[in-house]
Structure 1
Amino acid sequence: MSRTPNTRLQALMQAAGLSPAQLARMLRSVAAERGVLQASYDHTTVRRWLAGARPRPPAPALLLECLSRKLGKPITAQDAGLTRTPATVINWSERDPGRLILQLARAECDPARQVLLGAGPFSLSALSVMDLGTPGDPTAQPTDAMVVPTVSQRAHIDQMGAIAALFHGTAERYGGQSTRAALAAYLADRVAVFIGAPTRDSVHPQLLSRIAQLALLLGIASADSGDHGISQYYYRGAARLATQAGDSVTFAITLRMMATQAYDLGHRTPAVLNLAEQAVAHARHAPPAVLSYALSQLAVVQAHYDRHAALASLARAEHVHARIDALPGPFTDYPAGALYFQRAQTLSALGDLIGARAALKISLRLRTAAEPRATALTRAYFAETHLRIGHLEQALTQWQTFLAAYPTLHSTRAARHFQNMISQLQPYRRHPAARQVLDEASAVGQ
């Protein structure tokens, strides 16, 4: 991009009422929200962009997110004058959720198109469930299904379920970044033949459900990779496919993940609360694991609105959880360690740090060898809770164990906890044990 003034960016900033200094502050805030470890943007940085300098990654994605939030609508790289490449990487107006997911997966497999793909911002306006439909609504069902042989399709339905379990297990162990590329390639190659293809009425909903579940896993992996805008598209595509399949279970799980993503990014708005409430509403007839899963997140969000409602939802989640008898699987089980982690989050939001600490201790005891990533994240949160109470020695013990597992994790959530550890220990740098942890962290981060 030549060094000619970026008039498009200037116009958007004016429309948003943002000065260079104000935009720089927003950039730093969104960067921290996404776990970007180094973000030193200031008003001079923004002025260079206005003069025509090209922002370097991850600045474009952060910039588009800031503008989108202020203006209340998605802003593309073309809108902001950040690229001259036509916006043809993805047809964002594609109405068919399966075809949009396929475009996204194919773009992930093409390094030349990943740059523009990664520019998609997380959108608060995309948290609405109004346009996602309702599972079981006849008007949401596809009408172009045809009769063809189904033996192969049934085999592929089973295969997709096994593949989903494989990718989910790997992501749980090592983080979403470890599976995202391979899962996108599988969807773009092996699953693509079923997207938009004619099928028997009897198997079509099952195919749509499997594709929705794979898209949901890609959304989780994208969020854990820090690409929250792309994650939203996968989530919304998964929700719409679940609607077409009449699959209220996958629909409820997807809404729950959308609420979790927004909450983890620091959003406590009524839209996030509504997402969590809708997840519970659609899970009311689901297996106990799914209902408990939805209720626990609702409790976390409700803690910022209504203490009584939060504790009631948490109690109900624990009561329902006791009825789980399903085999482990990405859409059939809810580990007890995860439930106690949500209990800790709820109690922490309510100001009960002692109760949160007790819940985290139980969560760690219940974590299994198949959950190294979740165990490490729980230890990091446990350490932060100890420090908030004033127990430095206990916090250091948990952080040391977290550090031992950190190099094997490919997760922005883990990276955010890693950065939190460094910043929270700086005031204790003269403490010998704290200094040792900081030194170990420095060595790990090199």
Structure 2
Amino acid sequence: MSDGDTRRNQRLVEMFEQSGLTQGELARRITTMARQQGLRHVTPDATNIRRWLQGGQPREPLPGILADVFSNAFGRRVTTYDLGFGASPDLDRPLHYSPSFRETVESVTELGRADMDRRKFLAASPFVAAAGIGPSRDWLLSTLEQEPEPGPRVRLEDVTSVRNMFGQFQEMDVMQGGGSGRLLLTEYMNQHVYPLLRRTHTEAVRRALCAAAAEQTYLLGWMAFDNGEHGTAQRYLIQALRLAEESQDSALGAHVLAGMADQATLLGNPAEGRRLAQAGRQGLRKASSYACLSDLWALEARALAVLGEAKDAARAVARSEAAFSRVVREEEPEWAKFIDGAYLHGEHANAFRDLRQAENSAEHARRSIAYAKTQNRARRGALSHAVLAVSHLQRGDLEAAHATGVRTVELASRVKSSRSVEAVQDVQRRMVPFGRHQLVADFNERARALVAA
């Protein structure tokens, strides 16, 4: 056990003081925890504790064991980063789909803390195009067996409380954009949800808890996605998929794969987006959610359109509409609430836009706008107005495109959504062939004001 330098480890000191433990008591708890993990050679004493407090660096696996001891003492997850060991959290770990439930809990907890404490650092993390291949395959196999961690038993009432919060956060995202409530949801997950995963449960409660945690972790990923933080979003989505597998909720896992497919296509990987959507549909064979099935077909259509597969894309749109016609809203899960006419027609409009089928694109965009208007959904309205503006440009009607584009800017200004701003910028780019026309200049000025705001 290395003494390291003599600079005081202030983070460890603060945790130690908050715990109320003596140095001897902490050493004994570390020894007990190590033995539970089969590490009988780990037997620190009070002298070791004092050295670590003074800045010494404990050797592996002691930092992780210390984090486990303090987590049990506080009833919430404490990471090695929280204890001052390591310059930063491991941001690559959440890209891995671990066969260990414990490792999954560690990954998603560390990701959540990094999202709170190191947001700028995390936002710079890259999207990794191939990272979805293994998770989608392993989710389909669904052969992993895990055991819960020791600790106070979680009750079904605790899970119900988590699920009740989900609807509120999802509504916040739908109505105000992903940038509005994500900080609140991250804090809620760190303080109330992820710590529950480390405690003991009956099997039924454990599955329900994993489902609830997966729903909210997916929502964190979706909010980051909407806010343009794609590396962060990808990490949350992969861990949400792993939690969904643990819950044995096939429809929920398929829903997470839909989000991964959407992101892959948006970031220029339509072949991967199509494959992820197909994996989700295969997983739905053991579950029933026509809303999710409709979404997966819509996202496959988006991917096919980008790939230029016009006939297959149109066929996928038709299958999406057929699946949606069978939706019984009362029988769908809470997370499927957003998969409605406003959303689906908007996605179909995007597919036909990419195929340069302006009439079909405009028809679906107008349907989406009508639904969004009745629900006062500014983000969806902005996205679909942008597609309608592009359909006007594809027909050479700059005046109609300008009027629709102005409405896009107005709606985008009401929400905190990078996707809405990017939709405005897409209209800008597509106006370039019209040169220095006065309407183009006016729209560019409005778009600059939106971006500046």
Q: Is the shorter-chain TM-score for this pair beyond 0.5, marking a shared fold?
A: yes
Displacement after TM superposition at 1:430 (Å): 4.8
Alignment partners' CA distance in 2, 1:265 and 1:396: 27
Residue 100, structure 1, aligned to residue 122, structure 2 = no
Q: Is the 8 A contact 1:146 1:199 kept in 2?
A: no
Q: Is the 8 A contact 1:191 1:211 kept in 2?
A: yes
Instruction: Name the CA shift for 1:429/1:89 in 2 (closer, same or farther; >3 Å).
Output: same
Q: Is the 8 A contact 1:176 1:411 kept in 2?
A: yes
Alignment partners' CA distance in 2, 1:148 and 1:441: 53
Which residue of structure 2 aligns with residue 353 of structure 1? 358
TM-score, with structure 2 as normaliser: 0.72
Amino acid corresponding to residue 277 of structure 2 in structure 1: A
Alignment partners' CA distance in 2, 1:318 and 1:212: 27
Larger radius of gyration: 2
TM-score, with structure 1 as normaliser: 0.73
Which residue of structure 1 aligns with residue 66 of structure 2? none
Residue 273, structure 1, aligned to residue 274, structure 2 = yes
Amino acid corresponding to residue 329 of structure 2 in structure 1: A
How big is each residue's C-alpha offset from its partner over 1:231-261, in whole Å with a ceiling of 9 and x where there is no partner? 1111100111111111111110111111100
Instruction: Name the CA shift for 1:144/1:444 in 2 (closer, same or farther; >3 Å).
Output: closer
The match for 1:134 among 136, 139, 163 is: 139
The match for 1:319 among 317, 322, 325 is: 322
Amino acid corresponding to residue 118 of structure 1 in structure 2: A
Displacement after TM superposition at 1:266 (Å): 2.1
Q: Which has the higher helix share?
A: 2
How big is each residue's C-alpha offset from its partner over 1:214-243, in whole Å with a ceiling of 9 and x where there is no partner? 110011111122211111111100111111
Alignment partners' CA distance in 1, 2:300 and 2:329: 22
Q: Is the 8 A contact 1:135 1:247 kept in 2?
A: no
Instruction: Name the CA shift for 1:214/1:132 in 2 (closer, same or farther; >3 Å).
Output: farther
Indicate the percent of aligned positions where both proteins have the same amino acid.
23
Backbone CA RMSD of aligned residues: 2.5
Which residue of structure 1 aligns with residue 401 of structure 2? 395
Residue 109, structure 1, aligned to residue 116, structure 2 = yes
The match for 2:349 among 344, 347, 364 is: 344
How big is each residue's C-alpha offset from its partner over 1:369-411, in whole Å with a ceiling of 9 and x where there is no partner? 2421111111112112211221111111111111222222211
Q: Is the 8 A contact 1:136 1:243 kept in 2?
A: no
Instruction: Name the CA shift for 1:293/1:343 in 2 (closer, same or farther; >3 Å).
Output: same
The match for 2:172 among 167, 170, 174 is: 170
Instruction: Name the CA shift for 1:381/1:306 in 2 (closer, same or farther; >3 Å).
Output: closer
Which residue of structure 2 aligns with residue 377 of structure 1? 383
Alignment partners' CA distance in 1, 2:336 and 2:108: 20
Which residue of structure 2 aligns with residue 309 of structure 1? 312
User: What residue ranges of structure 1 are gaps of 5+ in the alignment?
Assistant: 1-84
User: What residue ranges of structure 2 are gaps of 5+ in the alignment?
Assistant: 1-84
Q: Is the 8 A contact 1:132 1:240 kept in 2?
A: no
> Where has structure 1 moved over 4 Å in runs of 4 or more?
145-150, 426-430
Alignment partners' CA distance in 1, 2:111 and 2:156: 25
Alignment partners' CA distance in 2, 1:232 and 1:290: 20
1:15-164 matched pairs, under 5 angstroms: 88-90=88-90, 92-93=92-93, 95=98, 96-110=103-117, 113-129=118-134, 133-134=138-139, 137=142, 139-144=143-148, 153-164=155-166
Which residue of structure 2 aligns with residue 180 of structure 1? 182
Alignment partners' CA distance in 2, 1:91 and 1:433: 45
Aligned residues: 356
How big is each residue's C-alpha offset from its partner over 1:62-111, in whole Å with a ceiling of 9 and x where there is no partner? xxxxxxxxxxxxxxxxxxxxxxx95631364474222211111111221x
Residue 222, structure 1, aligned to residue 228, structure 2 = no
Residue 439, structure 1, aligned to residue 445, structure 2 = yes
Q: Is the 8 A contact 1:289 1:321 kept in 2?
A: yes
Higher relative contact order (CA 8 A, sep 6+): 1
Q: Is the 8 A contact 2:136 2:279 kept in 1?
A: no
Instruction: Name the CA shift for 1:259/1:136 in 2 (closer, same or farther; >3 Å).
Output: closer
1:238-257 matched pairs, under 5 angstroms: 238-257=240-259
